[in-house]
Amino acid sequence: NVFAATEGSSPAGFSVERLQQMSLLTARIAKQIMSDPKEAETAFTAGLLHDIGKIILVLTAPEKFSAAIAGAAESGRPGYELEREMLGASHAEVGGFLLGVWGLPLPIVEAVAYHHVLPATPRPRMDTVLGIHVASALAGQVLAAQAGAPVQDHLDLVALEAAGVTGELPRWREV
């Protein structure tokens, strides 16, 4: 079990249980919002793996990762921004790199790498990368609300508009 590797070494502010909840919820949402059944399966897999970079950061740089988590909680800034500042890369980029080295399919690698910050090139349609971006943002909102924490909206509305799917947001939020 990959999560067992972090037992006893988790930095302050990191929860294996929350990571598991986030991964599963992201995967389920992603599968439901994708219209193409094959792409829905790919998105489900990418959703399960989208935060794998956090495990790498817990195991390789626990103090800096903990500082990024604390800094995000104090400032209200997204954790991935502080990770990039303190570690040189975010968990999304680290996870995408790892999955690329492992030889996973490019749509999964890209979805993991870009789940917070989409590539500059607009997505012409709802693909796995955009699906994981949406699913991760919505899952984060659900878990924050359940925990009584501030709910932040990190959706790239410009990218959703470019893909012609902004009208789907109300339905996706219900999912």
Stretch (H or E) spanning 24: helix 16-33
Distance CA 60, CA 125 (A): 36
Tokens 């925990």 belong to residue: 147
Q: pLDDT confidence of 33, banded at 50, 70, 90? A: very high
pLDDT at 4 over 60: no
Q: pLDDT confidence of 7, banded at 50, 70, 90? A: low
pLDDT at residue 145 in the model = 86
Strands (E), 17-173: none
pLDDT at 48 over 70: yes
pLDDT at residue 47 in the model = 98
Residue of 83, 101, 102 lying closest to 92 (CA atoms)? 83
Residue 75 burial by Cβ neighbours in a 10 Å radius (0-12, 13-18, 19+): exposed
Burial 32-57 (b: 16+ CB within 10 A, else e): bbbeeeebbebbbbbbbbbbbbbbbb
pLDDT at 157 over 60: yes
Task: Calculate mean pLDDT across residues 149-161.
Answer: 87
pLDDT at residue 159 in the model = 93
Torsion sign over Cα 76, 141, 116, 62 = positive
Torsion sign over Cα 117, 123, 128, 132 = positive
Q: pLDDT confidence of 8, banded at 50, 70, 90? A: low
Distance CA 32, CA 143 (A): 18
**DSSP one-letter code for 71:** H
